A and B are shown apart, each in its own frame.
Chain A
Amino acid sequence: MSDKIMMSGNEAIARGVWEAGVHVAAAYPGTPSTEILENIGTLFKDDIYCEWSVNEKVAFEVAAGASIGGARAFCAFKHVGMNVATDPIFSMGYAGVNGGLVFVTADDPGCWSSQNEQDNRWYGPHTKIAMLEPSDSQECLDFVKAAYELSERFDTPVMIRVTTRVCHSKSLVQTGDRKDVDVIKYERNPSKFALLPATAIARHPVREKLLAEMEEYSYDCPFNRVEETEGAAIGVITSGISYQHAREAFGKKASYLKLGLTYPVCGKLVREFCEKYDTLYVIEENDPYLELQVKALGFTGIHGKDLVPACNELNAAVLRRAIFNEEPGESYHVEATAPARPPTMCAGCPHRGFFLSLSKVLDKVVPAGDIGCYGLGTQAPFNGFGFSLCMGAGFSTLVGLSQALKRQSDPRKALGMVGDSTFFHSGITSLIDIVSSESNVIACVLDNSITAMTGHQENPGTARNLMGQSSPVVDIIALVKACGIDEDHLRVVDPLDISAMDAALRDGIEANGPFVIVTKRPCVLIKEVARANGKRHAVIDPEKCIGCRMCMSAACPAIAFKDGRSMISEGSGCIGCGLCTQLCRFGAISIVEE
């Protein structure tokens, strides 16, 4: 086993992309998919053109363009990211490919870092695109490579569906070498790729025929396999990570039909398997995707979601309880409880200043949130916004919200926030809508110069790209102005300058018509920023501190309140951002550089 390497599913996917001879890869970051492109950017950029695209739709279109042009292409996103990309995905489902085209959807059962648990397996039949589901890192690598062969053989994009526990689990992987794949010559072929109505209606039966051929192939597909256990009376049909949990829970009590190709599902294989066993279970996380297909084949007595929870992640213990009524074993109990430890904004986080000021005007504005670190601002003590939906909605919902507030004579103004990366992703189009509808709202771009929440990916504002090259900076303020916001309706502030931040919000509340605030200060975790901060930190003079707790209103993890006084302990992560020094009325806090 020593020649194998421990790899996460994401690392193995990246390796598989490289080994498959891929030429172009694009993605927008999103947990749990982010490390796929990060690894390609770090390890394989000499062989693969790769980029962080501005959003998932753009990423898929970059890959689609490469495929149509004859190159092998790859794209990745998280499950909700796929929603953004589905417009071109459906079209490519009809058109098919030139060079192999494979994309990953990384679903997040358990909502570890997401706004829902949507089960993207439904996108297989919905887009009419072949789907593979690996269940460990070795399969991630193997399936990606095989997906390119399938893509070119059956003229279809191939979707690889993984979940958090596949992406972020490590297991041993046998790697291989890169295959040299020539780019196929691009030739004009409008009857396949120019999807005007006449082309599309002609492509539809072609696609249906190819799907039928794929289902025929699926009987021999090496990724669908029966694991027979001698004497077992139970049959389990499963796929992806659920296969691993089923193996743990059922052990030698069952035989398994382990499906790797889960769209199209091989009816013949399922039928043959089901006919052999008296008791049958479909074990799958979240929705009854396989279960409904098995039932449609006539096996209506099969157990699935009547026993296995549809909500949250599975593990072997959950299955043992659901199937065998087995309670977990004994553990230990103590009276003490662990304190809540939610993720919080870091010490020195620029968003803290924004939310501190916002929390003072909550009687004058109704805030909308978005996806990013600033999502943490909804928590106490800031209680920064009451709703957030998806990327870009922090701006576009303001148009409708302001109308609703007006119609109920609520004098408060709608205020929304998006980050720099989110602004590029889908905030720009929303801002254009705000401007063209002349909505009386405040739109805030919280620019911290990085895509922070997912772990610091480059974006069009960072002057550097995924391949480590310098790249032109797309100027957010110039864009805001170009969308139609004039100087009078624009404020650019340092969010940690409390009086400036307060003033910008005040101006926004008093203004009429669309108003934009851009807060500019880089994330403290950016290496260069941390280096520049050096050893700067705040100190609190215990002689001057009277214990009024004003500094505590910043909810900074670096400040503790002990024995009636505020204090900043060593190792607290304080970077001397100075927010608390502005809050102290007694001059007790100062910034030192040693």
Chain B
Amino acid sequence: MTKSILLIGVGGQGTILISRILSAGFARMGYDVKMSEIHGMSQRGGSVTTMIRYGDEVSSPNFGEAEADIIISFEKSEAIRALPQLKKGGTVITDDYEILSVPVLTGASSYPHDALEQLRAVVPNTIIIEAFKAAEKLGNSRCQNIVLLGKFVKTMGLDEKADWKELVAENVPPRTVDINLKAYELGYNM
């Protein structure tokens, strides 16, 4: 059975790195894996999504509405943007972190500060963590993605099936291995 994961965040938050680690992990677990990124204009502070699909045999790298088993969101309102993609019974793991877009900053658009309360009320499998804050406290807010990875691995019960710490160490910049391993632990134990 093919599983579909949607990662969503804001350009520059590191969604692509965690996608790379996840797909390498699924491949190591013996699954067929496909991952679809969108590059280009969206990197300039726009909303960015990555899709990962794994299973015995995967055809399409991308999917449509109500087809995601899991959404991993790096930003509060982006979880809301991605919600129509979630299957009934699916799981949302989201950071509590807010990034105000330029239309919000200039007052042309408003920000749903209570988004997560609403999300929790309708999606039974809603998991909210403070990944950005934890990473910041650790000394590098850019490790937010690895905190989320730790939480994802724990939630999905994948820790036995691949050496995720090794995968983290292989995929992050060499100088940041230690702090990212700490970030992983932190997310895992949240």
A residues sitting closer than 8 Å to B (CB atoms) are: 1-2, 4, 6, 8, 31-32, 34-35, 112-113, 136, 164-165, 168-172, 241, 243-245, 247-248, 313, 315-318, 328-346, 373, 375-376, 380-381, 453-455, 552, 555, 557, 559-561, 571
Contacts and interface: CB of A to CB of B under 8 A. Distances in A.
Nearest to A316: B60
B80 A560 contact: no
21 contacts: A31-B41, A32-B39, A169-B61, A170-B35, A171-B34, A247-B59, A248-B60, A313-B62, A315-B62, A318-B64, A328-B65, A331-B83, A333-B122, A339-B100, A340-B103, A341-B46, A552-B105, A555-B102, A555-B105, A557-B101, A560-B105
A78 to B, nearest CB: 10
A90 to B, nearest CB: 29
Given A169-B62, A331-B87, A552-B105, A6 B33 contact: yes
The 7 closest A-B pairs by CB, nearest first: A317-B64, A113-B40, A169-B61, A338-B81, A343-B46, A336-B112, A343-B44
A548 to B, nearest CB: 14
A561 B104 CA distance: 9
A512 to B, nearest CB: 37
Contacts of B47: 338, 341
B103 A552 contact: no
Contact of A334 (B10, B32, B80, B88): B80
Given A170-B23, A247-B59, A317-B65, A112 B38 contact: yes
Contacts of A337: 80, 112
Given A168-B39, A170-B37, A329-B87, 12 more contacts: A2-B27, A164-B38, A316-B64, A317-B67, A318-B64, A328-B65, A333-B83, A336-B118, A339-B103, A342-B102, A343-B42, A453-B41
Contacts of B58: 171
Interface string B103-122: 11111111110110011011
Interface residues of B, number: 67
A171 B46 contact: no
Contacts of A165: 36, 61-62
Contact of B45 (A171, A243, A247, A346): A346
B39 A317 contact: no
B27 A1 contact: yes
B43 interface: yes
A169 B38 CA distance: 9
A32 B65 CA distance: 24
Contacts of B121: 334
A327 to B, nearest CB: 9
B84 interface: yes
Contacts of A330: 66, 87-88
Contacts of B110: 339
Given A341-B10, A341-B101, A552-B105, A168 B118 contact: no
Contacts of B35: 6, 169-171
B67 A6 contact: no
A345 B119 CA distance: 31
Interface-central residue, B30, B66, B85, by most chain A CB under 10 Å? B66
A335 B118 contact: yes
Given A4-B27, A31-B40, A169-B36, A245 B59 contact: yes
Contacts of B80: 334, 336-338
B183 to A, nearest CB: 16
Given A332-B88, A336-B114, A6 B44 contact: no
A34 B37 CA distance: 14
Contact of B122 (A316, A329, A332): A332
Contact of A170 (B34, B86, B111): B34
B11 interface: yes
Residue among B28, B105, B123 with most chain A CB within 10 A? B105
B161 interface: no
Given A168-B38, A329-B66, A331-B84, A552 B106 contact: yes
A217 to B, nearest CB: 28
Given A1-B32, A113-B39, A172 B61 contact: no
Nearest to A376: B44
B58 to A, nearest CB: 8
B41 A343 contact: yes
Contacts of A346: 44-45
Contacts of B11: 343
Given A333-B83, A336-B112, A339-B110, A455 B36 contact: no
B92 to A, nearest CB: 9
Contacts of A318: 64
A332 B59 contact: no
A344 B59 contact: no
Nearest to B51: A169
A328 B119 CA distance: 21
Given A331-B84, A339-B112, A244 B39 contact: no
Interface in B129-185: 136, 141
Contacts of A169: 34-37, 61-62
A315 B60 contact: yes
Contact of B109 (A34, A136, A333, A340): A340
A335 B86 CA distance: 16
B47 to A, nearest CB: 5
A69 to B, nearest CB: 34
Contact of B108 (A243, A376, A380): A380
Interface string B1-42: 000000000110000000010011001101111111111111
Contacts of A334: 80, 83, 115, 118-119, 121-122
Given A315-B63, A317-B64, A317-B67, A336 B39 contact: no
